[in-house]
Every structure is written in structure tokens, then in C-alpha cells.
Amino acid sequence: MEPIILSLREQDHLLRVIEAAVQVRELRQFQRLCQEQLQALLPHRLMLCLQLDAGDALLHFECLHDGGLDDAVVRRWADPVGGLAVRLARHCRDAERLPALSGGGRRGGDATFELLRRELQLAGFDQMVVHGSGRLEGGASLFALCGWSA
């Protein structure tokens, strides 16, 4: 993989995100960080955040979006057994595909990832990046950013 060189503007945005993230203590602060500083660095319409325990059970799920997403869709995605967010997180982690990237002419690399990406497309989201901690002793944390402008 080639190194990514950030412009001075992008470096400044990244520094602001890191500085602001250190101060986050509650969900309201995290939502504001995602809507402001993170949005300036990585434009997106949807952020999925998951925490899995050591046995792969969903401990926590947050879906941060621009307000145009139906609550029923969010509940379906958050289903701890078969929800899109959980399937996406587990697949990318288990296939050791972190980070995973699709959209903008890039393919995700395998058929399962492409099916998950298409499911997001049907809900109106195009490009996607998934990253996280990978498997750790106490579980895993993962996130996905979707639908940023190309």
C-alpha cells in the first residue's frame, strides 16, 4: 500500500479531530465531533459504531446520520444477530480486511463485502470505509463511514 500524504489543510483538520476527540466523554459530544471536525476531514452521511464482546455479542451500537434515515432501518441494521452493521463488522474483522474500502470505482475485494455494500446502496449510501481494532482479548470495536461525496 502506498503511503498517504495529507495536504496542510488535511493535516490541520486531522489535528483538530484528534484534539477534540480527547475531550469526548459522552455520546452528545461524540455526535458533535462527528458532525463538525470529523465531517470536515472525512465527509460522510452515516457513521456506524459497534462494540463487540469477547464472545462476539454486540455490546453497543450507535448509528450517527444526517437525520434522513428511518428509525426502522436503524433498528434493522442494529439487530445483534443478523443486522447489517454487525454482519459488516464481523466480516471485515474475521476476513482480516481492516481497513476495508469500497466505492469510487473500487471494489471491496470479496463477494460478501460487495453484498453488504449493495445493501447499504439500496438504503441510499454509496461509498464506504470500515476500520476497527480487530479481534482483542476483551472484544472488538469497529466503525463504518458511508456515503461521503466523491
Task: Give backbone dihedrals phi and psi of 116, rounded to 5 degrees, phi first.
Answer: -65, -40
Q: Tell me, what's the pLDDT at 108?
A: 52
Task: Using alpha carbons, select from 150, 81, 90 the residue that is nearest to residue 116.
Answer: 90
Residues of the chain with pLDDT > 70: what percent? 91
Q: Is the separation of the CB atoms in 108 and 73 below 8 Å?
A: no
pTM of the model: 0.75
Indicate the residue type of 72.
A
Torsional sign, CA 31, 34, 37, 39: negative
94 phi and psi angles, rounded to 5 deg: -70, -35
pLDDT beyond 80 at 54: yes
